[in-house]
Amino acid sequence: MSNYKHIFILCFVLGFQTLISQNEKIVVIGKILELGSGKGIDATAIRISNAPYATSTDKKGEFSLTLPKKAIYKLIISHLSYEGFIKEIKANSSDTIHVTISLLQRSNILDTISFYAVNKPETLVGKTSYSIFDFDFYEDKLILLAAQNSLTKAQIQLSTYGGKIISTYDLPKQAGEAKHFFHDYEGYTEIICKDSVFRLDVLNTELMILPIRQKDFNQSIEPIADSANGNFYFHDNWVKYPLFNYYYLKNNDSLNHLLSTITNSDLMKLYNLEYYYLPSRMQLEARRIAQYYKTDKRIIAALMSGFTQSMFYEPLYAPIFILKDTICIFNHHNDFLYHYNNQNQLIDSVSISYHHPKNWREWKKQLFVDEVANKVYAFFSKDGHHYLKQIDHQTGKEISTYKIKHHSAEKIKIKDGYVYYVYRPFDSTQERFLYRERIE
């Protein structure tokens, strides 16, 4: 396993030599004000389009962002009580850019019966001619993966939140069957196909599809969980092995640094015992294969015996998120939430238990993060219905529970206080529509 890690780390470092060489910085200093009154707006989310940089305003409505110097950036401004705004900024000879943005307050007009109506799902995109199989967010628009019957003939669409299709792109046959979207650490969306990977971008209002080598995606994009403060956080997780590490790579530094090791100790014991349960001839074969590939015989034995495909094997799930400049690792295998500061030093650890419901099958081993609101939700399913439990990322405690109205919702994502999902009613001729509902 150690050789596997060394090869992975070497490929990762080589893949990012050009990325970490950028030294020039600019500082964006700004104010977010309420249109009309001119008062500062607190807790406004500021993020950069297709880049892993974000912050929020203080009580005076002020913010500051340090960015690598490039020609043009787009600031995405969002707040639950105000209309969203996109501001394009251009770098100049100065190292500091000052911006002031005024937001229009949202008007929450209620219909005549809303005082006794329940929160109903809102249909964003629903067509009778095709289904939505996956989706992602792009600034104030949506990117959709659509197809009529199957994903062998898929189409990428750029849509408004009102369902108006702005641009389309038919995936070529040689791409292979489309599978799903992948949202990377830079904020880009990749479409993963059977035989290829493409990065999606938008120029003006036209979709752009850029091919990416599968090897480059596997080594330099998929393993990176996030980036912040000039650091890249990545993992060497292999679904067939019950141990992996989180590393960080500092800007202008070619050496990786260990942040945390994740393992399921009980599962590891069972995993290693598989070698000793094999017949002698298979043990010999496991040793031969391990010697050829320069790896551990116990790994080969666990693969040969089918242990990783059995009901006893559980892939590791311990995601890392950066929330308000705090690095959070939710280690569900030792029941602790770890907090690290922006210097990658462990601040504290708090116990977590939300992932141990009375019926263990209810916990679906998935966390969602609302990057705009800086909130974390754990995903549960009970009696055919889906539930989102908000988890305090400081204390690790449950705050509230929200029941999604449609019980068989798929492709769940959360943004700006809304849960988005794809849904098709059971035993219905309706295609898969894209819905959202406000989390209350």
**Whole-angstrom distance, CA of residue 29 vs CA of residue 75:** 12
Domains recognised in the chain with CATH numbers:
25-103 (2.60.40.1120), 265-309 (no CATH)
pLDDT beyond 50 at 22: no
Start-to-end CA span in the chain (Å): 46
What is 337-360 written as a DSSP string? EEEE-TTS-EEEEEE--TT--SSG
Determine how β-strand 96-103 pairs with β-strand 25-34.
parallel
Q: Is the pLDDT of residue 394 over 70?
A: yes
Beta-bridge partner residues of 261: 245
Q: Which of 12-26, 54-68, 79-93 has the lowest mean pLDDT?
A: 12-26
Query: What pLDDT sits at residue 21?
Result: 40
* Residues paired with residue 101 on neighbouring β-strands, in sequence order: 32
How long, in residues, is the chain? Answer: 440
> Are 247 and 233 contacting, i.e. CB atoms less than 8 angstroms apart?
yes
Check: pTM over 0.95? Answer yes or no: no
Going by C-alpha positions, the residue among 75, 113, 112, 115 that lies closest to residue 91 is 75
Q: How many C-beta atoms surround the C-beta of residue 224 within 10 A?
A: 20
Contact (Cβ atoms closer than 8 angstroms) between residue 199 and residue 181: no
Over the stretch 171-225, which tens digit does the pLDDT of each residue have?
988 889 999 999 999 889 999 999 899 999 888 888 989 999 999 999 889 999 9
Sign of dihedral through CA atoms 320, 82, 73, 418?
positive
Q: Which of 34-43, 104-113, 322-331, 427-436 has the lowest mean pLDDT?
A: 104-113
Q: Quick check: 286 pLDDT over 90? A: yes
- Which DSSP state fits 120? P
Q: Are 99 and 87 in contact (CB under 8 A)?
A: yes
Return d(Cα 145, Cα 124) in angstroms, integer. Answer: 14
Percent of the chain with pLDDT over 70: 91
Sheet holding 418-423, edge to edge: 122-125, 433-438, 418-423, 410-415
Q: Which of 58, 51, 52 is nearest to 30 (CA)?
A: 58
Which has the higher per-residue pLDDT, 233 or 427?
A: 233
Helical (H) or strand (E) element with 369: strand 363-370
User: What pLDDT score was predicted for residue 73?
Assistant: 82
- Taking phi over 0 as left and psi of -120 to 50 as alpha, with beta for the rest, 176 belongs to left
The rounded percent of the chain whose pLDDT value lies above 90 is 62
Whether the predicted pLDDT of 132 surpasses 90: yes
The owner of tokens 């019980």 is 407
With contact defined as beta carbons under 8 Å apart, do 174 and 154 qualify?
no
pLDDT in tens, 66-100: 888 777 888 888 887 888 888 888 877 678 888 99
